[in-house]
Chains A and B, each alone.
Chain A
Amino acid sequence: MALIEISSLKKSFGELQVLKQITFDIEKKDVVAVIGPSGSGKSTMLRSLVHLEEINGGSIRVDGDYLVQEGNYAKPQDIKKITAKMGMVFQHFNLFPHLTVQQNLEIAPGLLKTEAPDAIARRSEDLLQKIGLADKAKAYPANLSGGQKQRVAIARALMMNPQILLFDEPTSALDPELTGEVLKVMKDLAEEHMTMIVVTHEMGFAREVANKVVFMDGGDIIEANHPEEFFTNPQNERTKAFLQKNLK
C-alpha cells in the first residue's frame, strides 16, 4: 500500500476548475518533485493534503486512513490525526515573528505535549545543529536571512516527527544565492529517506534529488516519470514546451 493515495481529486474555485482529475500514489521514501506553470494547481493539490484546501471530489488516503473518501471528509478529530502525519514548509516561511527561533521550534510540541519537555529541548537543539543555526536559537525571525528562515521553518516542521514533508515552493521567495543552503538541507533529508513532496521551480533539484517528477498543467497531471527519463525523453507536447522554456 502506498503511503499517500490520491484518486480523482477535484477542486474548483467558483467556475474555475483548478484540479480536474488528479490521481497518483506516493510510496514511502519517495521524493516527488511537482513542477508546472503557475496556476496549474500544484500548490492547491499540495495544500489539500494537509486540509488547507477543501476538495470537492475524490479521495485522499494517508497511511491507510482516508482523509477524504469520495468527497466526504473524515471526522474533525480524525482529520487532525491524519494531517499530523504531514509537515509543511511554506513559500513565505510563515515563522512566528514574536517567538525566537528556539520557541518557533518548541511551541507546537510543547503545547501539544507530544514529548517530555527535556526531550523537546534536546530535539530542537539537535535540529538547529543539523541545519547549522545553533547560534541563532535566541534570535528572532526578523534578524534572519531568507535562507535561514526557511531552514528554521523546515526544522520546525521536523519537530512534529512527520512521516511526510510537504514543500510549497520553498525557494521561490529567496534570493538566488540563498536557495543553495535550503536545497542542501532538503537534499540531506532525502538522503535520510524522508518522504517528501516538493512543489518547485528548481529543475536542478527535481533532476538530482527527486526519484519521481510530476508535471502538472491546467489542473491535470500531464506526465509523471523517473527524473532521468522525464528530462531527457519527455513524452507529451506540453511537457516538451514547458521544459524548453525552463531548461536553458
Chain B
Amino acid sequence: MVDYWQTMILPMLEGAKMTVLLFIIAILVSIPFGFLLTLAVKSRIKPLSWLAHTYIYVMRGTPLLLQLLLICFGLPMIPVIGEYLVLDRFVAACLGFILNYAAYFAEIFRGGLLAIDKGQYEAAQVLGLTKWQTTTRIILPQMFRVALPALSNESVTLIKDTALLYAVAVPELLHFAQTAVNRDFTIVPYFIAGAIYLVMTLMLTVVFKWLEKRFKFE
C-alpha cells in the first residue's frame, strides 16, 4: 500500500518541481520585461510606444494556450527558418509564459504609475533630483507598493496556468496526475494534484502578504 502511494505521489512531486521551475523562471524574467514594456508604452518615442501598445494588445487579446501551441508547434512549420526554431519543449513553454505574462505585468505597472500623484514628481524636481534619481528613488518604490496586490493576484494565476504545459506535453504536475488516473482508474490523483497546487498558492500568498506588510510605510 505504501509502495502504491509512492509510485503515484513521487512522479507527481517530480512534476510539481517542473511547475515550480517554470513559475520561478517566468516570474523572474517577465516582471522586469513587463516593466521595460511599461517604460516603452510611456516613451516619448512614438513608434516605440505604439509597438509596445500593440504587443500588449496582442498578448492579452489572444489565449495563452494558442501562444504556447504556436511557439511549440507553429514556429518549426515556418518555411526555410522553421528548422532553426525547434526549441526544447520546456524552453519554448518558458518563452511563451514570459512573453504573455510580461504584457499583464506591464499593465499592472502602468496602473501603479498612474496612481502616483504628480506632486511627487514636482517635489523631486524642485529639490533638484535628476530624472533618473526621481524614477529610481521616488517613483519606483511607490509604484511597486501600489502594484503589489495585483502582482500577487497575477502570480497565483501564473501558478495555475502552468497546467497549460499539459497541452504541449511537458511532464508537469497535472501530466503525472492524469497518467495515474488513467493507469489506476481512480480520481484520487486529481485531489492530490489539487492539494499540491493549493500548497503552492498558499506559500505564494504568504510571501506577498509579508511583502505588503513590509512595504506599508506606516
Contacts and interface: CB of A to CB of B under 8 A. Distances in A.
Interface of A: 50-52, 80, 83-84, 86-88, 90, 92, 94-99, 107-108, 111-112, 140-143, 156-157, 160
Nearest to A92: B119
Contacts of B83: none
A111 B133 CA distance: 8
Contacts of A86: 126
A87 B123 CA distance: 10
B79 interface: no
The 6 lowest CB-CB distance pairs between A and B, nearest first, are A94-B123, A108-B127, A94-B119, A88-B126, A98-B141, A140-B217
B122 interface: yes
B127 A160 contact: yes
Nearest to B118: A94
The main secondary structure of chain B at its interface with chain A is: helix
B122 A52 contact: yes
B125 interface: yes
Contact of A96 (B125, B126, B138, B215): B138
30 contacts: A50-B126, A51-B125, A52-B125, A52-B126, A80-B128, A83-B128, A84-B128, A88-B123, A88-B126, A90-B123, A92-B117, A94-B117, A95-B123, A96-B120, A97-B217, A98-B142, A98-B215, A108-B128, A111-B129, A111-B137, A112-B128, A140-B217, A140-B218, A141-B217, A142-B218, A143-B218, A156-B127, A157-B127, A160-B127, A160-B128
A108 B218 contact: no
A156 B122 CA distance: 14
Given A51-B125, A111-B137, 7 more contacts: A52-B125, A90-B122, A98-B215, A107-B137, A108-B128, A160-B127, A160-B128
Contacts of B119: 90, 92, 94
B145 interface: yes
Interface of B: 117, 119-120, 122-123, 125-129, 133, 137-138, 141-142, 145, 215, 217-218
B152 to A, nearest CB: 18
Nearest to B218: A142
A84 B129 CA distance: 10
Nearest to A84: B128
A51 B133 CA distance: 18
Given A107-B137, A111-B137, A142-B218, A96 B129 contact: no
Contacts of A140: 217-218
Contacts of B117: 92, 94
Contact of A98 (B123, B128, B133, B145): B145
B217 A112 contact: no
B147 to A, nearest CB: 13
A156 B127 CA distance: 9
A60 to B, nearest CB: 15
Given A92-B119, A98-B142, A111-B133, A83 B126 contact: yes
Contacts of B120: 94, 96
A192 B26 CA distance: 59
